[in-house]
Structure 1
Amino acid sequence: MGNGKADERGQYGAARPATMRLARVHGKGDMRIDEVPVPKIGARDVLVRIGATGVCGSDLGYVAGGGLGGDAELLEPLAIGHEFAGTVEQVGDEVVGIAPGQRCAVNPDRGMIGGGGGTGAFAPFILIPDARAEQDICFIPDTLPFDRAALAEPLSVSLHGINIGGVTPDSKVVVLGAGPIGLCTVICLRHRGVENIVVADLSDARLERARALGASVTINPGRERMVEKIGQAHGTGERFGMPFVGTDVFIDAAGSPKALEDVLDVAKFRAQIVIVALHKKPVPMNLWKMMANEFSVSGSIADDRKDEFLECLAMLASGSIDVSPLISHHFDFDRLEEAFETAANVDGSAKVIVTFPQAA
């Protein structure tokens, strides 16, 4: 379904500019808006005109750390932005099942978009190499706004963790952290029919959003005994003289060593602990308790989640769950620096969305 050797005109016939602005990291604390050529497509590629891109915590981390993390030296500027949706602008001759004008969200996994793959979504256009319909380019209805469609990426991160944890509608679940991924986890738990959801976070503003999205109990460990409150919500017991709480699945979306240590200490027989958060330091674990209670600790990075991405898009398109409390701010691309500053404010923001003008 390619469009032949496309010229430099967009889907509406308007001439595309030769260059565009692209957000890239040049070093620690050094994010710049660089002027770069608008990508030219190959035979199997698709060019997408971006409508909305979400600011992820990893984007903030890339800027603060000056790269992808670890000891790797930044050899060239790092393009960032991986939560996005827009409109197919141009299609290569050999692309099948994709046509200009189709609205889509893009699964960034295969091309490592915004995470070292050379392309990033804080720009008006993005090249999707070797594009595949409903795998990389995932179509959305006209009724689904771009800002909502861009949520499919963080939602699918959360859904992947839920799947790893084996959550069922009857599960008693604790979510550590009510940042964007923690809030996305609440949404996905609701989507899967879970009602017994406890959320813990140090920010009352974020806990308020968690309640608005469907958390049944919220806990602020800064002034409440977290384990005691979890026990009140999920029940308590004792095994081999060790107290436990009745939680079936703990999902760590906080990255707090203290909170994780606390739940590891009271995990029940065959409980599941899923680590979605990025922990920057090792966390000690009592392996005797792990052995005696046969609980499992699993990581979840969500780098191969086509089905989960599509499921989240379908959920968003259906409108079955009101996700509006998740989005706290919208900023035009011209205000990108302000968008990042706002996203870094834990109490003052949740998911921050950057928007781009669409061709008339």
Structure 2
Amino acid sequence: MRAAVYRKGDLVVDQVPEPKPADGQVLVKTLACGICGSDLHAFHHAPKMVEAIERQGGKNLMDLSGDIVFGHEFCAEILDYGPNTGRKLAVGTRVCSVPISFTAAGMQTVGYANAAPGGYGEQMVLNEALLLPVPNGLPTDQAALTEPMAVGWHAVQKANLKGDEVPVVIGCGPVGLAVIAALKLKDVRPIIAADFSPARRKLAEIMGADIVVDPATTSPYKSFLDAAAPEGYDAGNPLNILGVGPQLKQGVFFECVGVPGVIQKMFEGAQRGTRIVVVGVCMEVDRIEPFFAINKELNLQFVLGYTPDEFAQTLHYLAEGKIDGSPMVTAKVGVDGVKQAFTDLGNPEKHVKILVEPWR
């Protein structure tokens, strides 16, 4: 089959062996697969990712001396079943799945393991037990957004919102937009969003942000104060810390950038008791000053991925129209266009989510 292959630090298009479904697995045709920021990280920082996984005691499944087919944000079509499967879904059914593969060799992440090729190839093998049929005639390109939108839904779930908070989303790339969509679904308002890119600020409005600011000219933390301060609130009253007088609404800030320095800026801009949820994946060494977080009693929560239930919920929210990811899809390419798409995604004024359609 044809695939865009990560090989020796480069992306090349080549013929690779067709995957064979093992016990409990299903052979599928990749219909559409989104290019994720994590794929960009893997392309540019694969050795660092492998080293970091090993340092934290994880099992490295990426042998960088061999071929890897990226792609974990997919919608696919069932082609055939492997041994010992229930065959509950008809051949031709469109499906999504949490990108995890269970084999005799153990659990592997689809798109990040040599033995589990992802959606940048024409075919994949998935576990039957994890397949979710695409409901309500949801278009394929929207079904392929289930995975990235589930990341935003999970982040919002981990924020433990009560409903009376004022959320601030820093960064309006795919992750930030997914968080905004999830906050809108939870009806936690007003949603404040900040990004330097005019195009992404416009998308933030479309996805549900109520207040959108350019941090080059307007502080999102000042915008938070304006939105969170009740009538009669006196920022200069030292007794605020004791609960005397009107109090600010709870702040919940989402870091969706993933570059060094952002968390520290949030520490400096946050009000006392703010909850900070870190969704962006930073691949560099970062620096924070704990004094700010200690002095303000900030709560710092790091998040990753989603649960299978959250993934399934997100698929149904898309199918029911409760989440509309269509504004995020800015281009579609075949496998021959993947490498250029990796470059094009560096321009926030042109692209947010590029889908790979390997059958093109």
Percent of aligned positions that are identical: 27
**2:78 aligned to 83, 88, 91, which one?**
88
1:309 Cα shift?
0.4
Within 5 Å, give how 1:138-149 maps onto structure 2.
138-141=132-135, 143-149=137-143
Structure 1 distance, partners of 2:163, 2:134, is: 27
Partner of 2:91: 100
1:40 Cα shift?
1.7
Partner of 2:302: 299
Letter of the structure 2 residue corresponding to residue 320 of structure 1: K
Structure 2 distance, partners of 1:26, 1:239, is: 61
Within 5 Å, give how 1:332-343 maps onto structure 2.
332-343=334-345
Within 5 Å, give how 1:348-359 maps onto structure 2.
348-357=350-359
Over aligned residues, Cα RMSD in angstroms? 2.6
Partner of 1:317: 319
Structure 2 distance, partners of 1:314, 1:239, is: 47
Structure 2 distance, partners of 1:322, 1:120, is: 25
Partner of 1:41: 21
Moved more, 111-120 or 277-286: 277-286
1:278 Cα shift?
1.3
Paired positions, count: 333
Partner of 1:53: 33
- Spell out, residue by residue over 1:63-83, the C-alpha distance to the aligned partner (whole angstroms, 9 max, x if none): 223456254772322221110
Where 1:89 maps in the other structure, the secondary structure is: strand
1:356 Cα shift?
4.0
1:241 Cα shift?
8.6
Tell me if structure 1 keeps the 8 A contact 2:2–2:121: yes
Partner of 1:196: 190
> Unpaired runs of 5+ in structure 1?
1-19
> Unpaired runs of 5+ in structure 2?
53-62, 102-107, 242-246
Structure 2 distance, partners of 1:238, 1:113, is: 53
Q: Structure 1 pair 209/36, CA: closer, same or farther in 2 (3 Å)?
A: same
- Spell out, residue by residue over 1:280-309, the C-alpha distance to the aligned partner (whole angstroms, 9 max, x if none): 33444443443344321011012x510110
Tell me if structure 1 keeps the 8 A contact 2:13–2:335: no
Where 1:262 maps in the other structure, the secondary structure is: helix
**1:151 aligned to 145, 152, 158, which one?**
145
Structure 1 distance, partners of 2:192, 2:78, is: 40
1:265 Cα shift?
2.2
**2:43 aligned to 58, 63, 72, which one?**
63
Partner of 1:123: 121
Structure 2 distance, partners of 1:238, 1:232, is: 15
Structure 1 distance, partners of 2:204, 2:238, is: 35
Q: Structure 1 pair 329/199, CA: closer, same or farther in 2 (3 Å)?
A: same
Where 2:148 maps in the other structure, the secondary structure is: helix
Q: Provide the TM-score with structure 2 as the length reference.
A: 0.84
Asked if residue 23 in structure 1 is aligned to residue 4 in structure 2, the reply is yes
Partner of 1:5: none
